[in-house]
Amino acid sequence: MADQEGSGPRPADGTGAGELPHGAAGARDARREHVPGAPVGALGEAELGVPRGARATLVQFSTAFCQPCRATRRTLASVAAMVDGVAHVEIDAESRLHLVRRLGIERTPTVLVLDARGRVAARAAGAPRTADVIAALGRIL
């Protein structure tokens, strides 16, 4: 996984989140509550609106008219169905702007891979490939 600047691997130990290989890097904006790639703490049911998966959670930020979001939904739902203890949660970015700002979401779809404790282990902007999602899960399971 590469960091937001594409300069190399990022640890998944709470010091920052890596990016799935297919994701696009985003620009930083000091006015945000959160800088992409910086630790955000754990995300739980209060932020997600539903319980996390027992082993991992695939969080998808989408918007209503986003065509790649539909393909991402199918990909993540398929992976979640294949891997025990993994949940897929889709969040409407337009209705959850406070969370979008907190997490530094810049486009849809954006996918966050959360570990069992709700920490962001990987992220991708754009529609990820199934193999990349499975690989990201493999690093935390």
List the domains of the chain with CATH numbers: 18-140 (3.40.30.10)
Residue whose structure tokens are 């996390």? 52
CA distance 57 to 137: 9
Q: Residue 40 has what pLDDT?
A: 73
Q: Please calculate the CA angle 140-73-9 and round it to the nearest 5 degrees.
A: 35
CA distance 132 to 120: 16
Q: Residue 41 has what pLDDT?
A: 83
CA distance 2 to 20: 7
Q: Which residues pair with 104 in a beta bridge?
A: none
- For 49-67, write each residue's pLDDT tens digit: 999 999 999 999 999 999 9
Q: Is the pTM here over 0.85, yes or no?
A: no
What's the rounded mean pLDDT across residues 33-40? Answer: 53
